[in-house]
Amino acid sequence: MPNCIIAQSGGPTSVINASVCGLVFSNSEHKIYDKIYAGINGIEGILEERIIELTSFSRKELDLFKFTPSAGLGSCRYKLKSFDKNEDEYNALINICKKYDINTFFYIGGNDSMDTIFKLSSYAEEKNINIKFIGIPKTIDNDLPVTDHTPGFGSAAKFIATTALETYLDSSVYTNNGIFILETMGRDTGWLAASACLAKLNGQPIADFIYLPEVEFDKDKFLKDTAERFKEKNQVYIVVSEGIKDKDNKFISQLETYQTHDSFGHAQLGGVGTVLKNMIVRAGITSRIKVLELGVMQRCAMHCSSSLDIDEAYKVGYDALIYSKGNNSGNMVAIKRESNTPYKSSTFLVKAARVANNIKYIPLSWINEERNNLNPECQEYFSPLIEGTPALYYENNIPMYKVFNK
Give yes or no for a contact between 143 and 360, defined as CB atoms under 8 angstroms apart. Answer: yes
In 3D space, the residue among 44, 119, 69, 147 whose CA is nearest the CA of residue 305 turns out to be 69
List the domain boundaries for the chain: 3-151+302-358+387-399, 156-299
Same fold yes or no, 3-151+302-358+387-399 and 156-299: yes
Phi, psi of 92, rounded to the nearest 5 degrees: -65, -45
Looking at residue 254, its pLDDT comes to 84
Looking at residue 216, its pLDDT comes to 97
Please list, in sequence order, all residues whose beta carbon lies within 8 angstroms of the beta carbon of residue 190, skipping any fewer than 6 positions away: 210, 211, 212, 213, 214, 241, 243, 362
Rounded CA separation 113/152 (Å):
15
Instruction: Let me know how long the chain is.
Output: 406
3-state secondary structure 42-111: HHHHHHCCCEEEHHHCCHHHHHHHHCCCCCCCCCCCCCCCCCCCCHHHHHHHHHHHHHCCEEEEEEEECH
Looking at residue 269, its pLDDT comes to 47
Question: Dihedral sign, CA of 212, 217, 218, 219?
Answer: positive
The one-letter amino acid at 312 = E
Is residue 141 annotated as a catalytic residue, yes or no? yes
The one-letter amino acid at 124 = A
* CATH hierarchy code of domain 156-299: 3.40.50.460
Phi, psi of 106, rounded to the nearest 5 degrees: -105, 135
Phi, psi of 229, rounded to the nearest 5 degrees: -70, -35
Model-level pTM? 0.95
In 3D space, the residue among 106, 42, 118, 105 whose CA is nearest the CA of residue 355 turns out to be 118
* CATH hierarchy code of domain 3-151+302-358+387-399: 3.40.50.450
Rounded CA separation 50/67 (Å):
24
211-237: string of b/e by CB count within 10 Å (b at 16+)? bbbbbebeeeebbebbbebbeeeebbb
Instruction: Provide the H-helix boundaries in 195-295.
Output: 219-233, 272-282
> Which of 34, 84, 112, 141 does the annotation list as catalytic?
141
Looking at residue 86, its pLDDT comes to 86
Q: DSSP assignment of 119-165, as one string?
A: HHHHHHHHTT---EEEEEE--TT---SSSS--TTHHHHHHHHHHHHH
- H/E segment holding residue 24: helix 16-30
Rounded CA separation 160/303 (Å):
13
pLDDT tens for the chain, 406 residues: list them.
999 999 999 999 999 999 999 999 999 999 999 999 999 999 999 999 999 999 999 999 999 999 999 999 999 998 888 888 889 999 999 999 999 999 999 999 999 999 999 999 999 999 999 999 999 999 999 999 999 999 999 999 999 999 999 999 999 999 889 999 999 999 999 999 999 999 999 999 999 999 999 999 999 999 999 999 999 999 999 999 999 999 999 999 887 644 444 444 554 445 999 999 999 999 999 999 999 999 999 999 999 999 999 999 999 999 999 999 999 999 999 999 999 999 999 999 999 999 998 999 999 999 999 999 999 989 999 999 999 999 999 999 999 999 998 6
Other C-beta atoms lying within 10 Å of the C-beta of residue 399:
14
